[in-house]
Amino acid sequence: MAQLYSSVKPTPMLKDELDIVIPTIRNLDFLEMWRPFFEQYHLIIVQDGDPSRTINIPKGFDYELYNRNDINRILGPKASCISFKDSACRCFGYMVSKKKYIYTIDDDCFVAKDPSGKEINALEQHIKNLLTPSTPHFFNTLYDPYGDGADFVRGYPFSMREGAITAVSHGLWLNIPDYDAPTQLVKPLERNSRKYVDAVMTIPKGTLFPMCGMNLAFDRELIGPAMYFGLMGDGQPIGRYDDMWAGWCVKVICDHMGWGVKTGLPYIWHSKASNPFVNLRKEYNGIFWQEEAIPFFQSLALPKECTSVQQCYMEMAKLVKEKLGKVDPYFNKLADGMVTWIEAWEELNSPDGAEAKAPKGKDE
């Protein structure tokens, strides 16, 4: 008797509740390597740079593609809050998504392998991170107590073992490290080929971290309005601080709201080292300004009256203008961008908000 095999692929986790957001200026051939993991999900592709350029996308993916003309058409004057010629434009994808969760990845990131040689399903690990609680209020020395083969260690308070809702899952990278330009110049050949740490941990409450946007997942319904990647790139005096800025804002708001941020697994393979001299020009002001910005965020206390992410973010924008505007006029412009971002978010995401229209479909 002939054995029958089903050609139906198993439904991946959160298939209808998660969008994958990809910023790009080039053809998305890298998706072929991710096909086994991404093909059944919906993609939102934000094309940066020249909107007349055609981006080739491998067949078989379900996607929406937005370029600068689409952003201007959908947001009108509020499009000024979306960066141009910078990967910070990805946050437009967060705004137009209608899903509960977002995973964002850069187009020079490929599937990594664990020490046994098995390909890592980064998206699946991110989902597991988001669907299990965090421990921001008391550190568990065995890392994530909700992971396989782990638990709470002796001395961990039983009253705190339910944990907190997880808002963000921050993944890491093998091969090319996410270094700033000065470190790149000092260590041009350094690669992370063996520092694979099989761990996920919650970043403690009150502790900031350098968030990298190239392998990142988050609960959009929970923290999405705070995931603004700022004003970077064309016409701005700073670049490569888009994800850092978002990370500082998000962490302060998560701490205020009692939510958790995880970092660690999953790893991706970061394939391309960017030019350190170009990076230095982009980062130059940020290297100085972060020495003022980080203490600002470390000391920032949001009032109890702020009970929603939008309220927190608007209060934060006011304080950015008040405190960091003294450092450089750029921060006044950034604070205005933060306000415009929230206004645009609420317009697009209100029950009667504008519906974003972009070319979409599944290539056969």
The DSSP call for residue 353 is: P
**The pair of three-digit structure tokens given for residue 300, joined into one six-digit string:** 């920032």
* Predicted confidence (pLDDT) at residue 179 exceeds the cutoff of 50: yes
Reported as a pLDDT band with limits 50, 70 and 90, residue 354 is low
**Any residues with CB less than 8 A from the CB of 23 and at least 6 apart, and which?**
45, 46, 48, 87, 89, 90, 93, 104, 106, 107
What structural domains does the chain harbor? 18-351 (3.90.550)
DSSP-assigned beta bridge partners for residue 21: 44, 104
In this prediction the pTM is: 0.95
Q: What is the mean pLDDT of residues 164-181?
A: 96
Share of the chain above pLDDT 70, in %: 94
Reported as a pLDDT band with limits 50, 70 and 90, residue 193 is confident
The DSSP call for residue 178 is: -
Q: What confidence score (pLDDT) does residue 116 get?
A: 95
pLDDT digits (tens, 9 = 90+) for 88-115: 999 999 999 999 999 999 999 999 999 9
Reported as a pLDDT band with limits 50, 70 and 90, residue 273 is confident
Calculate ∠ Cα 116-213-103, nearest 5°: 70
Q: What confidence score (pLDDT) does residue 10 get?
A: 74
Calculate ∠ Cα 109-114-118, nearest 5°: 95
* Predicted confidence (pLDDT) at residue 279 exceeds the cutoff of 90: yes
Q: What confidence score (pLDDT) does residue 330 get?
A: 98
Q: What confidence score (pLDDT) does residue 327 get?
A: 98
Q: What confidence score (pLDDT) does residue 272 get?
A: 86
Q: What confidence score (pLDDT) does residue 4 get?
A: 41
**The pair of three-digit structure tokens given for residue 83, joined into one six-digit string:** 């960066």
How many CA atoms are closer than 13 Å to the CA of 289, on its beta-carbon side? 22
Q: What is the mean pLDDT of residues 149-165?
A: 97
* Predicted confidence (pLDDT) at residue 198 exceeds the cutoff of 50: yes
Q: Three-state DSSP class for 173?
A: strand
Q: Among residues 168, 158, 163, which one has the least CA distance to residue 147?
A: 163
CB 85 within 8 A of CB 50: no
Q: What confidence score (pLDDT) does residue 148 get?
A: 87
Q: Tell me phi and psi for residue 362, to 5 degrees.
A: -110, 115
Q: What confidence score (pLDDT) does residue 195 get?
A: 83
Cα(207)–Cα(202) distance, integer angstroms: 10
* Predicted confidence (pLDDT) at residue 3 exceeds the cutoff of 60: no
pLDDT digits (tens, 9 = 90+) for 137-151: 999 999 999 998 899
Share of the chain above pLDDT 90, in %: 90
Q: What is the mean pLDDT of residues 289-314?
A: 98
How many CA atoms are closer than 13 Å to the CA of 29, on its beta-carbon side? 2
Average pLDDT, the chain: 94
* Predicted confidence (pLDDT) at residue 6 exceeds the cutoff of 70: no
pLDDT digits (tens, 9 = 90+) for 222-268: 999 999 999 999 999 999 999 999 999 999 999 999 999 999 999 99
Least confident of 72-76, 269-273, 289-293, 319-323: 269-273
How many CA atoms are closer than 13 Å to the CA of 137, on its beta-carbon side? 16
* Predicted confidence (pLDDT) at residue 358 exceeds the cutoff of 70: no
